[in-house]
């Protein structure tokens, strides 16, 4: 079972490598694939997500004995008037239960922080849809591009 850790600024190298990994980010092909996260953006991002989340953002790494294996987060999104989940597990660690554990930890943290529901919008061909459904999310609607899921906490 992974644990959650608040990354230090200098540990954002893992997020940079996670978002740059083509195999890991293949699920994101509908929205552009990999995401650049250069060092010059780290401080502003860190201040926004970690230092001053203003009860609208939550971000943690997932860590096991192997080291960092992924990230979990949520943020307020006015489109849903609610909080959108984010779970990314490094491709080489997928299939080991870290995604399910991360989603469970994220839901627990959100509930503890007073959040009553989490949403996610997932590309229609993303196999992670099954993971979210197994964790109690339900389908709200779908389009040709995405499926929108929600879980009451």
C-alpha 67 chain-centroid distance: 17
Q: Which residues contact 133 (CB under 8 A, 6 or more apart)?
A: 139, 149
Query: What is the model's pLDDT at position 28?
Result: 67
Query: What is the model's pLDDT at position 9?
Result: 98
The residues facing 12 across adjacent strands are none
For the chain, what are the domain ranges? 3-152
Per-residue pLDDT tens listing for the chain (153 residues): 899 999 999 999 999 999 999 988 887 666 667 999 999 999 999 999 999 999 899 999 999 999 999 999 999 999 999 999 999 999 999 999 999 999 999 999 999 999 999 999 998 888 889 999 999 999 999 999 899 999 999
- Provide the pairing of β-strand 117-123 with 82-89: parallel
Query: What is the model's pLDDT at position 30?
Result: 62
CB 116 within 8 A of CB 139: no
Q: Which fold has domain 3-152?
A: Aminopeptidase (3.40.630)
Long-range contacts, 123-127 (Cβ 8 Å, 24+): 123/27, 123/28, 123/29, 123/30, 123/31, 124/30, 125/30, 126/27, 127/27
């Amino acid at each position: 079972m992974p644990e959650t850790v608040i990354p230090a600024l200098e540990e954002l190298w893992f997020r940079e490598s996670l978002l740059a990994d083509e195999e890991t980010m293949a699920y994101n092909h509908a929205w552009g694939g990999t995401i650049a996260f250069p060092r010059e953006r780290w401080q502003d991002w860190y201040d926004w997500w970690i230092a001053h989340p203003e009860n609208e953002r939550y971000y943690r790494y997932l860590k096991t004995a192997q080291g960092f294996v992924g990230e979990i987060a949520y943020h307020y999104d006015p489109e849903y008037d609610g909080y959108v989940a984010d779970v990314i597990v490094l491709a080489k660690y997928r299939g080991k239960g870290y995604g399910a554990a991360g989603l469970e930890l994220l839901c627990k943290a959100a509930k503890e922080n007073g959040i009553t529901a989490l949403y996610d919008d997932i590309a229609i061909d993303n196999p992670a849809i099954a993971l979210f459904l197994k964790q109690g999310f339900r389908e709200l609607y779908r389009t040709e591009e995405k499926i929108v899921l929600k879980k009451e906490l």
